[in-house]
Amino acid sequence: MDIQLFIQRRKSLGISQSELCQGICTQATLSRFENQGQVPSVKILLDLCQRLDMSLGELFPRQDVQSTELYQHIEAAENAFVRADYKLANQELAAVDAKQVSPLSLKKRYLYLKGFLAALTKASINDSFFYLNQLMTDLHADFEPLYSSLAAAGLGLAYANAGESERAHHYFEKAQDGLLDYEPANSQELWRILNIVLHSANFYATAQEYDQSDRLLLHGINLSSQAAVSHYVDRLYFRLAQNAEAQGLEADQIKQYSADALAFAKFNGNSQLLARIKQFQSHI
């Protein structure tokens, strides 16, 4: 992607970053795109290009149409991942040639998605380690705290699924470093934070560390409320309901959490979670 062409077009039109991003995204999102190569969502990028009177295709060298296709597949995979449609996410990533993935920001997205999907589908722990270890080691020179936390949480999930609780605990603890203080610059960063929050909270709940689990869940719900997003909220509330039941809290509190979970699951169209919530509610 020719980000310099984007910057040159903006400057030639005499448009500042704050003017360009107004009503589209935060200035931090635009700055990270221009200065660090962190590509925003397709919608944001399209809107920014439209404001500069240029097409998205102009950002890609004509001889490298494949780069556009790679970006679209990874973008679609992350959107499916956020909706918990792991089958579709895997299908989108299966169309990607890992050797062709660039720039570095896109490669990081690809690696974290591949690693998490391997863990969530309970593939070999070696598969998760192969992808996520690259985020923590090979790409460490271009260190970003959020990706480091993603890699750690993914490895924690993989080890938890393998029954190695001590190693899982180590990585989930590592994933918490600075997490509660991290301010997402855009919806994609928020989704990644919520992903870490959800799986960390689930792990701490299974370890009966309910205070830590609940703290993370409430933080995730608060972030979602501030940003007016619904993805993950159904799963966060459902875990709160499960935690409340496990701790013997009052039935009214359990019912409220499960009712909130049900409402968001309906809104998100999460049929699998809906079935689980209804089964849970039947024995409250």
Q: Computed from CA positions of residues 137, 189, 214, 237, in that sequence, does the dihedral angle turn out positive or negative?
A: negative
In this predicted structure, the answer to whether residue 141 has a pLDDT above a threshold of 50 is no
Domain with 50 in it: what CATH number?
1.10.260.40
Closest CA to 153 of 141, 168, 166, 163: 168
CA separation for the pair 68, 1 (Å, rounded)? 8
What pLDDT, in 10s, does the model give residues 87-106? Answer: 999 999 999 988 888 777 78
In a domain, 112, yes or no: no
Name the domain boundary from 23, 41, 59: 59
pLDDT at position 186: 79
Answer yes or no: is pLDDT of 33 > 50.
yes
Distance CA 135, CA 147 (A): 7
- Give me 283's structure tokens: 């024995």
For the chain, how many structural domains are there in total?
Answer: 2
Whether 253 maps to a domain, the answer reads: yes
Range in 61-70, 202-211, 275-284 with the lowest mean pLDDT: 61-70
| The pLDDT value given to residue 100 | 84
Residue 139 has pLDDT above 90, yes or no: no
Full residue range of the structural domain in which residue 246 is found: 197-284
Mean pLDDT of the 138-158 span: 83
> Do the domain assignments include residue 9?
yes
CA distance 163 to 238: 23
Q: What are the residues whose beta carbons fall under 8 Å from the beta carbon of 152, sequence distance 6 or more?
A: 136, 171, 172, 174, 175
Does 139 map to a domain?
Answer: no
Map residue 102 onto helix, strand or coil. Answer: coil
In-domain check, residue 190: no
pLDDT of residue 64: 53
